[in-house]
Amino acid sequence: MNNAIIYLHNIQNEYYDILKSKEPIVFSDDLNLVEITMIIEEIDIFWRKNRDKILFDLDYFDDKETLFLAGSMYLDIDGNCHYYFKTFGDENIINDSILKFQNIANNDVNADFDIISIFKRSFKNTLSLLENFSSYFYILPVDYIISVYNDELIEMKNKIFYQLLSSLLDFEDILSNELFFETFDSIEKIENILENKKIDLFTFNEGDNNLSLKERLDKYETQIPFKLDDYLMKFLCLLYNYWNQIISIFLVFMELGFIPYISFKNTFFNFHTLFLSLYNGEDADEILNKIIVFYTFNICTDERIFNKINFEDYVNLVVNNDFQEKLMNNDEDNISKGLNVLINHISKEFNILMEKNEN
């Protein structure tokens, strides 16, 4: 086992140098999609060339509690998100946000989605992380690493999808595409199951829960990139789309052992609902409780508090006072008693921590 980081620090430095060299292009007024594509391509190639070194150093994280930023485009430093993220875990990984633009840096994207501005923000954050916080966070091409480990990624994702679907529809065996269509001959059959379980799917906007499942499928069919007439197929495709992010997060957890740190509400609730259907390891409850505590800390702590404390001092404070351990004390008890109890517990411990800083 590799007990020390051999290559990653240099790789982070080289990545910083590449991004720094692109700064004039990115922050020019006339940055266009082709230039963004060129930058993404160069970065993609950079990660690929360092693949073996990254895989070698991944061993280092095996015996550490490693968190990865899940469900967010990038770590918002301006919003003090780095404080929240670094509160927990021994090591913290951020999926390279620039590579995420691979599939969306094109003219087909919705005109309301100002991709160039979002790219600039993402770029700025990544550069700032590498410049100022490289000893606290590792930026890695997590999705690419997963694809290296698992060359049958699509099959794996499909397998997980059908596992979830079986659980959703109370099917004893794991469904397959063929079995699904053999078992269900109408969308109404599925709607009945969901109604009995009081599950609302595809309720993205107000009033959606008053629509039938068929009507919701019609309303959101534009989220599927191709036209489908069959409602059962529409259901499968939309559901896959909906769960895709969760499946990806779960794959990272399973393949790399990184615990997801989730701060977005929708992602958190979806993951929280589905996790135990996917993972039945002995530590399943323990991990889920951590994810809940991480999220709850995020929602109950005012970001402005972090403006009063230097980041390095905060990290030392958290480590020296075993803050995560204190938060996780009686976690099951606190969680079971409801959100308010958990929030009170977290707030109390955080206040004690901040008082120590003032002293």
Tell the smallest beta-carbon distance from residue 311 to another protein (Å). 34
**Of 107, 210, 280, 359, which one interacts with another protein (CB under 8 A)?**
107
Choose the stretch contacting another protein; rule: CB under 8 A; options: 44-52, 118-126, 209-217, 281-289.
Answer: 44-52
**Of 29, 108, 173, 178, which one interacts with another protein (CB under 8 A)?**
108
Tell the smallest beta-carbon distance from residue 147 to another protein (Å). 8
User: Which residue do the tokens 């790399």 mark?
Assistant: 256
Tell the smallest beta-carbon distance from residue 51 to another protein (Å). 6
45 is a contact residue toward another protein (CB under 8 A): yes
110 is a contact residue toward another protein (CB under 8 A): no
- Which residues, other chains included, contact 218 with Cβ-Cβ below 8 Å and sequence gap of 6+? none
**Of 5, 18, 73, 148, which one interacts with another protein (CB under 8 A)?**
148
User: What is the rounded distance in angstroms from the CA atom of residue 93 to the CA atom of residue 101?
Assistant: 18
Which of the 8 DSSP states describes residue 151?
T
105 is a contact residue toward another protein (CB under 8 A): yes
Going from the C-alpha of 225 to that of each of 143, 144, 162, 221, the distances in angstroms are 22, 23, 21, 8
Nearer Cβ to another protein, position 107 or 222?
A: 107
Tell the smallest beta-carbon distance from residue 5 to another protein (Å). 19
**Of 33, 73, 233, 318, which one interacts with another protein (CB under 8 A)?**
33
Distance of CA 243 to the CA centre of its chain: 12
Nearer Cβ to another protein, position 24 or 207?
A: 24
Helix segments in the chain, DSSP class H? 8-26, 33-49, 51-58, 81-86, 115-132, 142-149, 153-168, 177-183, 187-196, 213-219, 231-256, 265-278, 284-300, 311-320, 323-328, 331-336, 339-358
Bridge partner residues of 94 (DSSP):
139
Residue type (1 letter), 342: L
Tell the smallest beta-carbon distance from residue 152 to another protein (Å). 13
41 is a contact residue toward another protein (CB under 8 A): yes
38 is a contact residue toward another protein (CB under 8 A): yes
Nearer Cβ to another protein, position 54 or 327?
A: 54
Q: Are 122 and 98 in contact (CB under 8 A)?
A: yes
Q: Are 192 and 205 in contact (CB under 8 A)?
A: no
Binding site for another protein (CB under 8 A): 33-34, 37-38, 41-42, 44-45, 48-49, 51, 102-103, 105-108, 148
